[in-house]
Homo-oligomer: A and B are copies of this chain.
Amino acid sequence: MNCGARSSSLLGSFCDHSLEEVNSMKTCAYYKKNQPLFVEGSLQRGVYCLNQGKVKVFTRGDEGKEQIIHIAKEGEIIGFRAMFSGEPYKVSATTLEESNICFIAKEDFLNMIDTNPALRNGIMQELSKELGDRAVFITNMAQKSVRERLAFSLLILGDIYGAEEINLTREDLANFVGTATETLIRLLKDFKDEEMIEIHTRKIEIINKQKLLHLAGK
């Protein structure tokens, strides 16, 4: 078996077995941990469908420090944003763990969109939603303290990792929150002392979601 990912979203169904049309044009592959799918500045050849695993989507600041914009999980399509802009990638994507990922060539993908209005609407909806999410993200970055942002980030990661424990290096977590690694480590200890999380070496378990929600200002 290769492509077993499901999602309730319009877009998610795209990668589904049921679409024979898709099945015939995609090539699936195994990716190991820390393997790049594509790199900022390069030209796009197609889109990636994440069947199994996690992928970080990030940009690099002037000093090369990563800012993680999004962490994709099973069922997500990665890299379709650059498909319509006509520009090179503005972000990079790299696996965070062993993953199973299918690739669909640009022309095949665009062709499908032209002939499939439901898919097209799903894409437009997704683009719009993300645009709204990023406006909120920007506001959080600009106005919240690092402590509040960490609470907020842990909640997002909690949703992404679901039943599993959050499993990221301290550096990746810092690059998601937008802070220095040392600051992040200190705050994680505070959160542990305040009994919001438990730390199992590098894995993080949320034990008081309510308290995190309150801290994040929701």
Contact = CB atoms under 8 A, between A and B. Distances in A.
Contact of A69 (B59, B60, B127, B135): B135
B84 A143 contact: no
A157 to B, nearest CB: 16
Q: Which among A81, A120, A142, A144 has the highest number of chain B CB atoms within 10 Å?
A: A142
A136 interface: yes
Q: Which among A65, A81, A130, A138 has the highest number of chain B CB atoms within 10 Å?
A: A138
A132 B61 contact: no
Interface in A120-144: 120-121, 123-125, 127-144
Contacts of A127: 84, 124, 127-128, 131
Contact of A131 (B120, B134, B141, B143): B134
Given A81-B132, A86-B125, A142 B141 contact: yes
Contacts of A133: 90
A126 B85 CA distance: 7
Given A67-B138, A178-B143, A121 B84 contact: yes
A91 interface: yes
A63 interface: yes
A62 interface: yes
Interface range, A side = 35 or more
B135 A134 contact: yes
A217 interface: yes
B128 A91 contact: no
A39 B144 CA distance: 22
Given A84-B128, A128-B83, A138 B139 contact: no
Given A84-B124, A85-B129, A132-B90, A65 B143 contact: yes
A69 B128 contact: no
Nearest to A60: B139
A164 interface: no
A132 B85 contact: yes
A70 to B, nearest CB: 9
Given A63-B143, A81-B132, A137-B138, 11 more contacts: A60-B139, A69-B135, A69-B139, A81-B131, A85-B128, A85-B129, A123-B124, A127-B128, A134-B137, A134-B138, A142-B178
